[in-house]
Amino acid sequence: MTLMNDKVHAYKDQIGALSDVLPDVVKSYHEFTGECFQPGVLDAKTKQLIALGIGLFANNEVCTFYHVEEARSKGATDQEIMETVAVAGAVGGGHALSQGAMRVQKALH
């Protein structure tokens, strides 16, 4: 857990430093993402699990750590988090397979 916390804190520190250079951009980003993650038709936990799946698919380590932490803080269980991992794996595998079926087969013919 220390590695996870260290990386998330390093990201937050760097965002803080970026706000010294681009304050309006960072402020706008935080306002936008803050609004996106507010409960609506989807609750906050579900939104964090979606973000985790996208972070995994994008191979973004900091996002993965951050959204595990956030999903837990919103009440996600270990089982819900691991099911999110499985869905991200299915999407990632499906992505590669669909591209192989479409692009690669087309390139071969």
The total of structural domains in the chain comes to: 1
6-42 core/surface letters (b: 16 or more CB in 10 A; e: else): eebeeeeeeeeeeeeeeeeebeeeeeeeeeebeeeee
Question: Could you report the per-residue pLDDT of 94-104, keeping only the tens digit for each?
Answer: 988 998 888 88
Report which of 103, 28, 95, 13 is spatially closest to residue 62, judged by C-alpha positions: 13
The per-residue pLDDT for range 6-33, each reduced to its tens digit, is: 888 888 888 889 989 999 999 999 999 9
Q: Whole-prediction pTM value? A: 0.85
**Residue 1: pLDDT over 80:** no
Predicted confidence at residue 9, as pLDDT, reads 86
Which structural domain range is residue 16 located in? 3-108
pLDDT tens-digit profile of 28-51?
999 999 999 999 999 999 999 999
CATH at 39: 1.20.1290.10
